[in-house]
Amino acid sequence: MAKTKPQDRARKSKKNAKNGASNGTSKKPKASPETLLIQAATLLQTSQPDEALLAAKRALSLLQPTSEPTLAALPALNLLGEINVELGDADAAREAFQAAVALDEDGEEDGAEKFLWMAQLNEEGGAESVRWFEKGVEVLKREIGELEGKLVKKVDTTDALDEKRQKIANALCGIAEVYMTDLSLEEDAEARCEAAVTEALLVAPESPEPLQTLASIRISQVRIADAKAALTRSMSLWKELDPDDPKVPDYSTRISLSRLLMEAEMEDEAIGVLERLVGENDGSVEAWYLGGWCLHLLAEKQKAKGTEVATSLLKASRDWLENCLKLYAMLEYEDERLKEHAEEILKALNDTLGPSTGEEEEEEWEDADDEEDEEMEGT
């Protein structure tokens, strides 16, 4: 038999490689859409949103290969929306959730999450946000009814029920907040606030968020004692828990809590929350700003009492605000009002304390804590 020509061997080798048979190896199979979605969700949970976005887009291209909408694409669209929220791309997030809503207008296929996101992302706000929140609540209540039916059959659905009740409570709090802000001039705004937060407390009585929203309403009504009681009860539900415990409110909720505590003149509790927040994540401009402001308020109270601890508190306040402004510049933060207020307080502090050396002693804040504790014990 004649020898095979070299070019024939090369041609066959290429053909075999193309067919996955060269040298006994096989071509690596493509990842399925389900696998890609799991990868994307995992990457999102581990703070890798850019990589998550690529995996979710690949999954969507497989689930919806043409421009024709398909129900199979729903999980990918919802995940793309959440990833873009994390990336700060509100337009892309809104587009993904709108596409999901168009495929599942009643939430029968893929639940309430897209409606709740649309409540927060829609550009009109106000009544439109309320409409989306109410749609999400309607779907969640229907799902709870279905799950409660399964309980009769001894199917363990307790965790799922708790999660859905928490989502309902959060949505109702969202409605109350809209009526405190965008729709505050509506004739029935106060009544709608009260109704929403009351229902939230009934749905999730052991949840901190409705109590926090209740406190916000009471502050707006200048019922400060009631606000303090609600805030104290809200914090008691999680303050002794580990940071990773799911019952601990998320970071942004606790940032809002610290603001409410300061409005209710509960500065000691506020700085406790803020110290915990910067301990968990020291890259939050707002946490450092609020901490500096809160310490300044505490110092002013101590000055009024004529105590020596005031100076230590002022120095600690300056330290927090300097950290805030350094982060502000480094992260190119865009809240101009925050920056202006931080600079205003910092100027007043430097006028009082003299120029900062940039090397404040950490013990000063600890000493201030100790002195305050001693004063509390002596009262």
Distance (Å, whole) CA 286 – CA 160: 33
Number of other residues whose CB lies within 10 A of the CB of residue 318: 23
Number of C-beta neighbours around residue 158 at 10 A: 10
Q: How confident is the model over 16-56, as pLDDT tens digits?
A: 444 444 454 455 567 898 999 999 999 999 989 999 999 99
- pLDDT average, residue stretch 70-90: 95
How far, in whole angstroms, is CA 320 from its chain's centroid? 23
More confident call, 359 vs 131: 131
Please name each of the domains of the chain with its CATH number: 111-230 (1.25.40), 254-372 (1.25.40)
C-alpha to C-alpha distance for 327 and 283, rounded to whole angstroms: 7
Phi and psi at 3, nearest 5°, equal -70, 145
pLDDT at residue 28 in the model: 55
Q: Determine which of 11-20, 246-255, 307-316, 339-348 has the lowest per-residue pLDDT on average.
A: 11-20
The alpha carbon of residue 86 and the mean position of all alpha carbons in its chain are separated, in whole angstroms, by 9
HEC secondary structure over 18-48: HCCCHHHCCCCCCCCHHHHHHHHHHHHHCCC
Q: Which two tokens stand for residue 193?
A: 């606030």
User: What mean pLDDT is predicted for residues 321-327?
Assistant: 97
- Residue 337: is its pLDDT beyond 50? yes
Q: How many CB atoms lie within 10 A of CB 91?
A: 10
**14 pLDDT band (50/70/90 cuts)?**
very low
Residues composing the chain: 379
Give the E-state strand segments of 190-299 in sequence order: none
Mean pLDDT confidence for 46-69:
92
* Mean pLDDT for the chain overall: 87
Q: What's the rounded Cα separation, in Å, for the pair 263 and 233?
A: 17
b/e code 177-206 from CB counts within 10 Å (16+ = b): bbbbebbeeeeebeebbbebbebbbebbee
User: pLDDT (tens digit, 9 = 90+) per residue, 175-220?
Assistant: 999 999 999 999 999 999 999 999 999 999 999 999 999 999 999 9
- For 97-114, write each residue's pLDDT tens digit: 999 999 999 999 999 999
Would you state the torsion angle of the CA atoms of residues 292, 296, 301, 302, taken in this order, to the nearest 10 degrees?
Answer: 90
Q: For residues 76 and 56, give the distance between their C-alpha atoms in angstroms, rounded to a whole number.
A: 6
Q: What is the dihedral of CA 332, 337, 341, 347, to 10 degrees?
A: 60
Indicate whether 144 pLDDT > 70: yes
pLDDT of residue 370: 53
Determine the pLDDT at residue 15: 44
Percentage of the chain lying above the pLDDT 90 cut:
75
10 Å CB burial of residue 216 (0-12, 13-18, 19+) is buried
For residue 3, the 8-state DSSP code is P
The arithmetic mean of pLDDT across residues 244-273, rounded, is: 96
